[in-house]
Structure 1
Amino acid sequence: MRTALLLLLLLAIAAVPGSLVPQRSSDPNGVTQYFASNPDLAPVLDNFQMFDVYTSAWFSAVYLLLFVSLIGCIIPRTKHHLEALRARPPRTPARLSRLAGYTERALPVPEGSSVEAAAEAAIARAATQLKKAGYRVERYELRGEASVSAERGYLRETGNLVFHTALIGVLATVAIGGGFGFAGQRVVVEGQSFVNTLAAFDSFNPGRFFDPTSLEPYRLTLDGLDAVYETQNPDALGQPIDFTARVTVQGSDGEPAARTVKVNEPLRVYDTDVYLLGNGYAPTITVRDPDGEIVFTDSVPFLPQDKNLTSIGVVKVTDGLDEQLGMVGFFYPTQTTLSSGAFASSYPDLVYPVLTLNVYAGDLGINEGTPTSVYTLDPTGMEQLTGGKTGVDSLELMPGETADLPGGRGTVTFENADPDAAGGEYAKSVPRFASFDIHHDPSQGWVLVFALLILAGLMVSLFVPRRRLWVKAATRADGTVVLEYAGLARGEDPGLDRAVAEFADAHASPVE
């Protein structure tokens, strides 16, 4: 048991890194951003599997050792417990005065009865009362002194074994569920849809035994994402209060149904759980060639960098121009200028949205077929046209504005998603995106069952006392007979002394 407790503590410590750095299984975008923000530290952490903590070799080793240790603990304890259930209560000790709660009571002798008969009747009555109280009872006779030995509380050890067995059940079902389940992530912009097929996920982490044909297709459309921020308390201005993703779900054999997904309130649909992981803005950007033909238009998710949603995004124009273009953009929902002259966002909602773009021309490095992240741009071998040391200001746009690309390469437009709004109103001018985690775990029901068994076993093991109780008709040196009572706790039992005294009072009272 000491080994199991030590391994359980070690497992808890081993899980800590999973909450300190983003995990590929739940936040692949966060991992990408971590590599971009910490180019020296991230590869070192990756070598130690810090971005895959819960599937790492060292975490799995602790997990399996705990599993084996618990089994090694339960088997001998179960055998011992079964033997104890079949065993007789132990013999009455010769000296009850050495035990807890020891007390004496005078032997009530009814009129016309002998002391021996009264003692026998008292012991028989004690056995009956103890049985009614849930004790296992055994009569003993030692040196002519009758006694009864009683024991109860076997349910305490049963609860303890149920607790540990159910813990193994949780470990086993989580492992099995991980093998047959999957976790996938998808970023969806307002007005766009996601279809539950393998090719539609941005990232997908299947279990070892997962069958791709088992995916049940359904369509999830993000109708809107409502964000509520603190506006009354000046000390917490802009703090998020609530995020609600309004979605429409439609299966292959059903009607569209409106649903909502909130933080910590996932949507259960078609045997999958849909979690709302994060959100941000997705400015709609259109690039036209010198002839005015559209060569690129899309709502591009920008990754938030701070609490006021200063965000970074990348636009890659691969075709339609004389050479490929890459643009690194910074989006400020409420643009303000710092004392240093740099831009920042002072509030996370759309009050004064501004988009700045640094433009690069050259080879984007995607023609060779090498996969690249849509959230990063490698400027190696590309010519920077605006921003930085070029001497040319970054392109600066507000919703609905258009700017010329350097060198007559065409134009770029920051589209206004709400063109009917009055001037200066930007509440709906930029679409938002939601990052969803779609999770399937076939073991959830069993995990719930074992979790309830863990709780029940723990409650029983904590609140059911394991105790022994003895009653003996003891003969003193002067020939008088008294009733002796004593108990013994098998574990923590602060109420034992009181229980012995109460039983002695109830038993030794005159029989009507």
Structure 2
Amino acid sequence: KVNHPLRVGSDRVYLQGHGFAPTFTVTWPTGETRTETLQFAPDDATTFLSSGAMRFDPPGGMFPDADERRKNQIAIEGLFAPTAAMHGTLLSSAFPAMLDPAVAIDIYKGDAGLDTGSPQSLFSLNAELINQGRLVKQDRVNLRPGESTTLADGTEIRFDGAVDFVNLQVSHDPAQQWVLVSALTMMAGLLVSLLVKRRRVWVRVYPAGTVSDGERRTVVELGGLARTDQAGWGDEFDRLVARLLGHDAAGRAEEKNA
């Protein structure tokens, strides 16, 4: 189901994508073969018409010289249709399930760039090699499973069929519960900070300007400011004055406020 991964123990397995991987077999005139299965990229999500490319290196015994072997590599590029629908010689797909598979491919011979060490696209050939004439087209054919075509030098390319492939993501997060606990703790702290009443209180203490009965008096002034929730701040401030200065001072403060 969507957003319901397969769970294996503490691992979660997500399906990221799927498609088809055609299989081709190249048989050289010596009888040696190379078989390769490689995924093609789905170009149409509705019919799963897919495109891709393959590269084959000839057997080492055929061409002992590395340069000569490089000039005789085989490359395939084209389309795969899980349910073939032919429009003349043009191939398209009528249905995403593999009911009547077929391929429409271009076959090249030459330097496919297998041993250059340079990165290449998995789904297309290097156009620069084709434009430079280092990779030359030999044939263009439509094939169904089991069908083959033979090049002028006797090399045979056979389409063997296709298999399904899936793209999976496996996730393992042993600290997931701790992350949840930390997130909840942060949210709780944020809520507490929003609920706390923010108050500011200033106290100023200075000696009185006159002396009474031989004693010097000290004047204490208090001020307060409510940053939020000012309702009821007056009573709260009076209670604070009473705690700091005593009830008599609080009473005088109330009379002064009146």
Residue 461 (structure 1) shift: 7.6
Partner of 1:276: 15
2:40 is matched with which residue: 281, 289, 302? 302
Q: 2:191 aligned with 1:436, yes or no?
A: no
CA-to-partner distance for each residue in 1:389-422, whole Å, 9 max, x for gaps?
Answer: xxxxx221112x2212321332222224xxxxxx
Q: 2:132 aligned with 1:384, yes or no?
A: no
Structure 2: distance between partners of 1:413 and 1:376: 19
Q: Is 2:91–2:104's contact at 8 Å kept on the other side of the alignment?
A: no
TM, length-normalised to structure 1: 0.32
Partner of 2:160: 415
The alignment yields a C-alpha RMSD, in angstroms, of 3.6
Q: How many residues align?
A: 190
Task: Give secondary structure in 1 for the equivalent of 2:25.
Answer: strand
Structure 2: distance between partners of 1:368 and 1:467: 70
Compare the two structures and name the one with the higher helix fraction. 1
Residue 434 (structure 1) shift: 0.9
The 5 A counterparts of 1:87-166 are none
Structure 1: distance between partners of 2:120 and 2:11: 29
Partner of 1:334: 83
Structure 1: distance between partners of 2:160 and 2:2: 29
Structure 2: distance between partners of 1:273 and 1:316: 35
Q: 2:27 aligned with 1:288, yes or no?
A: yes
* Distance change (3 Å), C-alpha of 1:270 and 1:337: same
Structure 1: distance between partners of 2:13 and 2:191: 33
Residue 436 (structure 1) shift: 1.9
Structure 1: distance between partners of 2:197 and 2:95: 61
The 5 A counterparts of 1:216-255 are none
Code of the residue aligned with 2:141 in structure 1: it is L
TM, length-normalised to structure 2: 0.60
Moved over 6 A (4+): 458-462, 464-468
Partner of 2:221: none
Structure 2: distance between partners of 1:268 and 1:443: 17
Partner of 2:208: none
Task: Give secondary structure in 2 for the equivalent of 1:283.
Answer: strand
Q: Is 1:331–1:355's contact at 8 Å kept on the other side of the alignment?
A: yes
Q: Is 1:395–1:403's contact at 8 Å kept on the other side of the alignment?
A: no
* Distance change (3 Å), C-alpha of 1:341 and 1:456: farther
Structure 1: distance between partners of 2:9 and 2:74: 41
Code of the residue aligned with 2:124 in structure 1: it is T
Task: Give secondary structure in 1 for the equivalent of 2:177.
Answer: helix
Residue 375 (structure 1) shift: 2.9
* Distance change (3 Å), C-alpha of 1:461 and 1:467: closer
Compare the two structures and name the one with the higher strand fraction. 2
CA-to-partner distance for each residue in 1:155-185, whole Å, 9 max, x for gaps?
Answer: xxxxxxxxxxxxxxxxxxxxxxxxxxxxxxx
1:402 is matched with which residue: 142, 147, 151? 147
* Distance change (3 Å), C-alpha of 1:460 and 1:414: farther
Structure exhibiting the larger radius of gyration computed from Cα positions: 2
Q: Is 1:334–1:351's contact at 8 Å kept on the other side of the alignment?
A: yes
Code of the residue aligned with 2:84 in structure 1: it is Q
* Distance change (3 Å), C-alpha of 1:341 and 1:289: closer
Structure 2: distance between partners of 1:361 and 1:305: 26
Q: Which runs of 5+ in 2 are unaligned?
A: 64-71, 200-225, 233-258
Residue 272 (structure 1) shift: 5.0
